[in-house]
Amino acid sequence: EPEVTQTPSHQVTQMGQEVILHCVPISNHLYFYWYRQILGQKVEFLVSFYNNEISEKSEIFDDQFSVERPDGSNFTLKIRSTKLEDSAMYFCASSENVPSSYNEQFFGPGTRLTVL
Amino acid sequence: KNQVEQSPQSLIILEGKNCTLQCNYTVSPFSNLRWYKQDTGRGPVSLTIMTFSENTKSNGRYTATLDADTKQSSLHITASQLSDSASYICVVTTDSNYQLIWGAGTKLIIKP
């Protein structure tokens, strides 16, 4: 069964460093998403991406964040200068189409980012 | 403000027992309601999706209900198994931009 994959599973970085989180969405999917979940808190939407551009983004997704689809398979989230509060689990998701009534988002296993 | 509230926050039951988790929402306009299961350290996995016109949907031992009038949903788990230990998250999609509004989840622990 096709699945969303994410690498690395755990990333440790120093405050101020840049990190890039990698995702490979399901191959025939067209919409891609990044979410984050701070330990013990709700899942939070960061950004959605379609047709090589951002469709929606939340207030969390400020200038420190960027997304890219550098080739036909990878979808990346870059954090330019990490802060302690960026420590969280980051989930990538993909859907075949816009998340309408029955269009499901499939989530990857997540990357745990720890900023020291 | 669009919000999804879940109760209880956590629940411990014995293996083999049934349980019901609750979700109340104030999301408008409403598109659909989903229940996800999230194992510790893993991504959420969809259990059920219900639209406005559906008031019950089953997926194996999981049965979700939806009352669109009172804006309440429940997830009933029958004959619980140890592998049911996870967080169960209620998520409501708005009909305006199809963004997912997430609840905080109910952490369910099944004890042998």
Q: What confidence tens digit (pLDDT) does each residue in A82-108 have?
A: 999 999 999 999 998 776 656 788 999
| pLDDT score, position A73 | 84
Instruction: Please tell me the predicted confidence (pLDDT) of residue B31.
Output: 86
Are A102 and B51 a contacting pair at CB < 8 A? yes
Q: Return the percentage of chain B with pLDDT > 90, whole number.
A: 77
pLDDT at B56 over 70: yes
Contact across the interface for A42 and B44, Cβ inside 8 Å: no
**pLDDT of B29 higher than 90:** no
Given an 8 Å threshold on Cβ–Cβ distance, is B100 in contact with A107? no
B43 contacts A109? CB cut-off 8 A: yes
The pLDDT value given to residue B9: 96
List the single range of A90-99, B12-21, B73-82 with lowest mean pLDDT: A90-99
Chain A residue at shortest CA distance from B32: A101
Using DSSP's 3-state secondary structure scheme, residue B83 falls into helix
> Which chain B residues contact residue A109 at CB under 8 A?
41-43
Q: Which of A43, A99, A100 sits opposite B102 (nearest CB)?
A: A43
C-beta atoms surrounding A56 within 10 Å: 15
Chain A residues bordering chain B (beta-carbon distance below 8 Å): 4, 41-45, 56, 89, 91, 93, 98-102, 104-110, 112
- Residue the block writes with tokens 């999230």: B38
* Rounded mean pLDDT for each run of 10 residues along chain A, 116 residues in total: 92 97 94 93 92 91 94 92 96 83 84 97
pLDDT of residue A103: 74
* Cα separation values, A69 from A22, A38, B96, Å: 10, 25, 26
The burial of A103, by beta-carbon neighbours within 10 Å (0-12 exposed, 13-18 middle, 19 or more buried), is given as: middle
Residue of B nearest to A112 (CA): B41
Please compute the mean of the pLDDT values over residues B66-95 and round it to a whole number.
95
Residue B97 has pLDDT above 80, yes or no: no
Q: Which residues of chain A does B93 touch, with a Cβ-Cβ cutoff of 8 Å? A: 99, 101
